[in-house]
Structure 1
Amino acid sequence: MGHANSKNASLPSENRTVDNDGRQLVLDGCRKFGMRSAETGLDYEIFTYVPDTPPPRSGFPVIYVLDANSDFATVAETVRRVSRRPSATGISPSVVVGIGYPNTRNYDLDRRYLDFTRGVSADPTGADVPADGCGGQPAYIRFLARQLLPYVSDQFDIDPSHRVLLGHSLAGYFVLDLLAQCPEIFDSYISFSPSLWWDRPRLVETLKEQGAGKTALRLYVSVGRFEQELAPWQAAAGFNTGYQDLRAARRMIDNAREVADEIQATFAPDTDVRFEIGDQEDHSTIVTTTLCRALRFVDAGRIG
């Protein structure tokens, strides 16, 4: 199953879940394994999906998914389903690599605060996280660039010129912060509902230091219409005014739109940026409703 197109057939075990009868369910084409960061000694859980089709001559595109314990299966199954007819969908078969954490089935809040941030939040509405629980981002970027990406290139038939980084919420903020600092590591970026309130000033200052047009890249940013106000169903459910005030203060839509424009201006004319608002979406629904549009955008021009 699955890894017929991987360079190394002796990869770790399949990604499995177990139902109530004890029978194992297999996500076709997927595996997971542990990897220890040579930068920090911290352990990660790496998920992989490989299409069950021959790779193109240049190799498969590869999509790196942050918060993989939560989001990998959604992205991998979407890619598997919609890439069966790439000329019809505009989305080509791709390897999907998820970066997650051991001993969790959802988000590991402590590890993501450490890995995705350069320091404590600059916003007064920021999460109450101890200073030593933040700021591990530089080591995490080195882990990605020096260890994980070379490993994936060695193990799979991939196109090194088509690497996509995808993240949501705080991971979406990390996607943009990495782009601002090291735009050359990936050639395409997908940021869903980026938590730019965490430290937008530092990200923007880094963009100013970059100068114009160092590399060609594609960036897709989307955010839900109801991330800056209450959705009708939330108002009906009695969400309090404090929730509304927090949404207004964090300016999810305005921050995302403004930073997307700043990135376009910084790297133009070598950058293609698309910003979209999910008309009926909020923070929790934006990924599943705009994922195909994001994948099609970063794949533009690559369908033969």
Structure 2
Amino acid sequence: MGIGYATNAPFSSERYYDFTLPVAVSELPVRPDGSPWPSPGGAENILKFIEDLKPEIGKRYKVDYNSQTLFGHSLGGLFALYVLFENPYAFQTYIAGSPSLHWNKKWFREEEDRFLSRLNQGNGDISLLLGVGELEGTHKSGMNENALELSKRLSLKESGVNVHFKEFEEEGHLSVLPPLINRALRFALKRNVPGKK
């Protein structure tokens, strides 16, 4: 199932609110056209919406609640990581493509210890794929470096998270989507085959 917006534009500006946490404007990078960023801070509401929606989907379709994957790209990738940190057992597999960690980098660093303690209380059976395009590495946001650093910190054995980082050669922020989706499907399905890790 996918959640989207009724728009013919490449993306809806509502994503800036829906997939982010509250953040001081001073912490955000300058917008390319110099205009103010839309108001951030609605990630908690979208997570609640998804959690409320799950039982409704379960009434209509057969759902394996032990094999659920959350996929997001860009601000959606940021949101996937927010859900992982805030409610890690909401899903079993998380795919964060080109995650815009620069939006809420401070929050993630501050929440990391609390997140790890939550994992220690659970069964630790969580997988995370962080995927970025090689050409994104030159962006001033530090997207690739931020994702790589996060993958290294979460790869600690005691975290219990099965973390994979993949930089797709010669791909940019949008062109990374087809190979990322391909890898994401294999990653999620392989994880759920008995005996495969």
TMscore range, shorter length:
0.7 to 0.9
2-side partners of 1:203 and 1:126: how far apart? 21
For residues 301 and 291 of structure 1, the distance between their equivalents in structure 2, rounded to whole angstroms, comes to 15
2:85 and 2:93 map into 1 onto residues whose CA distance is 13
Given candidates 189, 193, 196, the residue that maps to 1:299 is 189
* Amino acid of the structure 1 residue aligned with 2:37: V
CA apart distance, 1:301: 4.7
Count of aligned residue pairs for this structure pair: 185
Q: Name the amino acid aligned to 1:254.
A: E
User: Cα deviations across residues 215-263 of structure 1 (Å, max 9, x unaligned)?
Assistant: 320001111111122xxxxxxxxxxxxxxxxx1x311111010112223
Q: What's the offset of the Cα at 1:268?
A: 3.4
The separation in 1 between residues aligned to 2:158 and 2:179, in whole angstroms, is: 28
Partner of 1:283: 173
Is contact 2:67-2:192 (8 Å) kept? no
- Assess, with a 3 A threshold, how the Cα gap between structure 1 residues 123 and 104 changes in structure 2: closer, same or farther: same
* Alpha-carbon offset, residue 160 of structure 1: 0.7
Identify the residue that residue 11 of structure 2 maps to in structure 1. Answer: 107
Identify the residue that residue 92 of structure 2 maps to in structure 1.
Answer: 187
CA displacement, residues 135-194 of structure 1 (integer Å, 9 cap, x when unaligned): 11111111111x211111111012111110001111111111111111011110001111
What per-residue deviation string (whole Å, max 9, x for no partner) do you get for residues 14-49 of structure 1? xxxxxxxxxxxxxxxxxxxxxxxxxxxxxxxxxxxx
Partner Cα separation in structure 2 for residue 263 and residue 151 of structure 1:
33
* Counterparts in 2 of 1:292 and 1:105: CA distance versus 1, 3 Å: same
Q: Equivalent residue for 2:78?
A: 173
Amino acid at match of 1:268: E
User: TM-score, normalized by length of structure 1?
Assistant: 0.57
**Deviations 1:90-138 (CA, angstroms, capped at 9, x unpaired):** xxxxxxx0111234454111x21111111135634154325xx221111
Distance of 2:180 and 2:46 partners within structure 1:
27
- SS of equivalent to 1:152: helix
Is residue 222 of structure 1 aligned with residue 170 of structure 2? Answer: no
Alignment of 1:1-304 (within 5 A): 97-104=1-8, 106-109=10-13, 111-120=14-23, 123-127=27-31, 128-130=36-38, 133-145=39-51, 147-210=52-115, 211=117, 212-213=119-120, 214=122, 215-229=124-138, 247=139, 249-265=140-156, 268-303=158-193
Question: Identity percentage over the alignment?
Answer: 29
Of Structure 1 and Structure 2, the greater helix share is in 2
Which whole-Å CA distance do the structure 1 matches of 2:91 and 2:112 have between them?
Answer: 16
Q: What's the secondary structure of 2:22's corresponding residue?
A: coil
* TM-score (ref. length: structure 2): 0.85
Which structure shows the bigger proportion of residues in strand conformation?
Answer: 1
Matched letter for residue 198 of structure 1: W
Q: For residues 62-90 of structure 1, what are the alpha-carbon distances to aligned partners after superposition, in whole Å with 9 as ceiling and x for unaligned?
A: xxxxxxxxxxxxxxxxxxxxxxxxxxxxx
Tell me the SS of whatever aligns to 2:71: strand
- The 1-side partners of 2:54 and 2:41 are apart by 22
Deviation for aligned residue 1:270: 2.3
- 1:301–1:172 distance in 2 versus 1, CA, 3 Å: closer
Indicate how the Cα distance of structure 1 residues 103 and 226 shifts in structure 2: closer, same or farther if over 3 A, else same. closer
- Residue 165 of structure 1 contacts residue 190 of structure 1 at CA under 8 Å; is this kept in 2? yes
Structure 1's 301 and 203: CA in aligned 2 closer, same or farther, altered over 3 A? Answer: closer
Q: Structure 1: give runs of 5+ residues left out of the alignment.
A: 1-96, 230-246
Rounded to whole Å, the distance in 2 between the matches of 1:259 and 1:193 is 12
RMSD: 2.0
Q: Any idea what SS the aligned residue of 2:27 has?
A: coil
* Matched AA of 2:152: D
Larger Rg: 1
